[in-house]
Amino acid sequence: MILSGANIQSRAERGEIFVHKTWDCAFIKEASYALRVASDGLVVDGEHYPPGCHIRGPYIEIRPGQIAILSTKEKLCMPNDLVGKIGIRLQYARQGLTGLMGIQVDPGYGQGRTDERLFIRVANLGNESIRLLPGADVFTFELHSTPGIKDPKEFPKDSTWERLQKALANQDQVSWSYMSRVESNLERETERGRAAMEPVVLFGVFLVAVTILGVVIVIILNISQDGTHQVPEWITEGAWKVLFGTLCFAAVATGLVGLSASIYFARNLFRMDWLRRRLRRISRRLFGN
């Protein structure tokens, strides 16, 4: 049976479910309680904020693809006959916030402790950053009656935060999910491909420019040597000199563009990983090291 809001409030006022003064009746719903996010007991963007060490800044930011560990302001002392179910509230789930944790809170959780809160691992699967204000009611907490449990299992002596730190000690990049790493790798490879294609495009533009320039030069030379063609009246001896100078300047400029494109192309070519690997293999075959 799921406890109603009235039953949750009644039992909380008797010192059950939550530690005294860590809960607020304003967050009791019809058949659940809205758990609030604390400003301490967090792992955000790779930074650890133990209980008592509050995050800097006005909000907790979880970027797209990022994983974070949040904790609740409420401290729990679950009775033996209740089990809790955790979920993400709709307004935050719509932004892409997803839970990466077990959803059950066992009977007896937090008994004998004064600071045993819930630690919830979440991921942002949305396209935009999610900003959570400390105290925001992010999680929904249903309480189910479980009659018949007299002696709940004995919990470890270490606190949940201590056990969490031990579990994370051997993990690299605990704040990033596989998807974010794939996205980062794709962006890096795309940028590398773009850098490799830029000199090819530039060299193609150079070839087109040289071709057009050559065609123009041939046409002008044919006009100047063939009296059967109608030469415009404005082309005087001085105009021919200006035109010839302009063509020379264009030829030199086109040559410089081509040279720059060739150098840029060669430089990016030698930066390619596959070419470096190929050269290293050739070097080992030739020199034996």
Please give the share of the chain, as a percent, with pLDDT higher than 70.
64
Q: How many CB atoms lie within 10 A of CB 117?
A: 24
Statement to judge: residues 69 and 190 lie in one domain: no
Mean pLDDT of 207-218: 70
Tell me what pLDDT residue 175 has: 58
Tell me what pLDDT residue 162 has: 83
Q: How confident is the model at residue 216 (pLDDT cuts 50, 70, 90)?
A: low
Statement to judge: residues 69 and 165 lie in one domain: yes
Least confident segment among 2-6, 59-63, 146-150, 213-217:
213-217
The CA distance from 190 to 216, in Å, is: 39
Terminal-to-terminal C-alpha distance of the chain? 72
More confident residue, 94 or 114: 94
Q: What is the CA 144 to chain-centroid distance, rounded?
A: 37
**Spatial contact of 122 and 88, defined as CB atoms under 8 Å apart:** yes
**Spatial contact of 91 and 198, defined as CB atoms under 8 Å apart:** no
The CA distance from 153 to 147, in Å, is: 15
What is the domain-level CATH number for residue 122?
A: 2.70.40.10
As given in the structure block, the two tokens for residue 280 are 């290293």
Statement to judge: residues 165 and 205 lie in one domain: no
Q: How confident is the model at residue 46 (pLDDT cuts 50, 70, 90)?
A: confident
Statement to judge: residues 23 and 132 lie in one domain: yes
Tell me what pLDDT residue 25 has: 95
Q: How confident is the model at residue 16 (pLDDT cuts 50, 70, 90)?
A: very high
Tell me what pLDDT residue 127 has: 87
Statement to judge: residues 193 and 278 lie in one domain: yes
**DSSP assigned state of 171:** -
Statement to judge: residues 168 and 64 lie in one domain: yes
pLDDT of 104 > 60? The answer is yes
pLDDT of 231 > 90? The answer is no
Statement to judge: residues 205 and 94 lie in one domain: no
pLDDT digits (tens, 9 = 90+) for 78-103: 998 999 999 999 999 999 999 987 78
Q: What is the pTM of this model?
A: 0.62
Helix (H) or strand (E) holding 220: helix 178-225
Number of domains making up the chain? 2
pLDDT of 178 > 60? The answer is no
CA geometry: angle 7, 9, 10, nearest 5 deg: 65
Tell me what pLDDT residue 253 has: 74
Q: How confident is the model at residue 241 (pLDDT cuts 50, 70, 90)?
A: low
Q: 201: burial class by Cβ within 10 Å (0-12, 13-18, 19+)? A: exposed
Range of the domain at 103: 5-176
Statement to judge: residues 281 and 155 lie in one domain: no
Mean pLDDT across the chain: 80
Statement to judge: residues 160 and 183 lie in one domain: no
**DSSP assigned state of 28:** B
pLDDT of 256 > 90? The answer is no
Tell me what pLDDT residue 101 has: 79
Statement to judge: residues 185 and 269 lie in one domain: yes
Statement to judge: residues 132 and 172 lie in one domain: yes
The CA distance from 199 to 235, in Å, is: 38
**Spatial contact of 160 and 116, defined as CB atoms under 8 Å apart:** yes
Statement to judge: residues 154 and 251 lie in one domain: no
Q: Which of 130, 172, 133 is nearest to 46 (CA)?
A: 172
Written as one letter, the residue type at 241 is K
Tell me what pLDDT residue 184 has: 63
The CA distance from 3 to 9, in Å, is: 10
pLDDT digits (tens, 9 = 90+) for 48-78: 899 999 998 899 999 988 889 999 999 999 9
